[in-house]
Chains A and B, each alone.
Chain A
Amino acid sequence: AQSVSQHNHHVILSEAASLELGCNYSYGGTVNLFWYVQYPGQHLQLLLKYFSGDPLVKGIKGFEAEFIKSKFSFNLRKPSVQWSDTAEYFCASTYSGAGSYQLTFGKGTKLSVIP
């Protein structure tokens, strides 16, 4: 079964610091990868996704992620975080196999940005 691992449980940064959140997936076949964000008390929103093409994906709010197939990774980055980026971030995947559309989530990384 596929799985998604997020390296950090809680990350604390000061405003203007650079951000990189790690994500690794286990499936060796064709995968589709997503980053979702959950602001406090809100539902999940899609930040960005990769399913083919350019491995460097740009999303909303200045976020980007790079798909590195050889490392089974899809790390999320932002060059300069703001207090409003305080949220929980989830990496997720689906994989191309047997018509499965299940979205498998990592356990999430809580980001706290200090003004």
Chain B
Amino acid sequence: EAQVTQNPRYLITVTGKKLTVTCSQNMNHEYMSWYRQDPGLGLRQIYYSMNVEVTDKGDVPEGYKVSRKEKRNFPLILESPSPNQTSLYFCASRLLSGGEGETQYFGPGTRLLVL
């Protein structure tokens, strides 16, 4: 089944303790992206990647890192989490070949609470 998976689905941590949220897709998509969803703000893009070893900042990259060492994986790293990073995080992927009209497919989300 074609899908985007994320782990963990729920995470409670404390300020400053490094964490990684994994994202994997099995559709051979070149483009992958991370979003955060906050009430009243919709979804905002954190980082994206056009292909292996190619990443770039989205609208809200501060406090986050990503890496793209393999095509299927795009982990999100919080080196020193802070309470304002408490949010719902979604990973997404899409083909590039279809142009801007191509659909993005979303993972199930990771709910993060930073105390």
Interface residues of A (CB under 8 A from B): 9, 32, 34, 36, 42-46, 49, 51-52, 90, 92, 94-96, 100-103, 105-108
Q: Are A107 and B42 in contact (CB under 8 A)?
A: yes
CB distance from A98 to the nearest CB of B (A): 11
Residues of A within 8 A of B104 (CB): 103
Closest to A103 in B: B104
Interface residues of B (CB under 8 A from A): 31, 33, 35, 40-45, 48, 50, 58, 90, 92, 94, 96, 99-109
Q: Are A101 and B94 in contact (CB under 8 A)?
A: yes
Q: Are A107 and B40 in contact (CB under 8 A)?
A: yes
Residues of A within 8 A of B106 (CB): 36, 43-45
Q: Are B101 and A105 in contact (CB under 8 A)?
A: no
Q: Are B40 and A9 in contact (CB under 8 A)?
A: yes
With A101-B31, A103-B104 known, 11 other A-B pairs at CB within 8 A are A32-B100, A42-B108, A44-B43, A44-B106, A45-B106, A51-B99, A94-B101, A96-B99, A102-B33, A102-B45, A108-B42
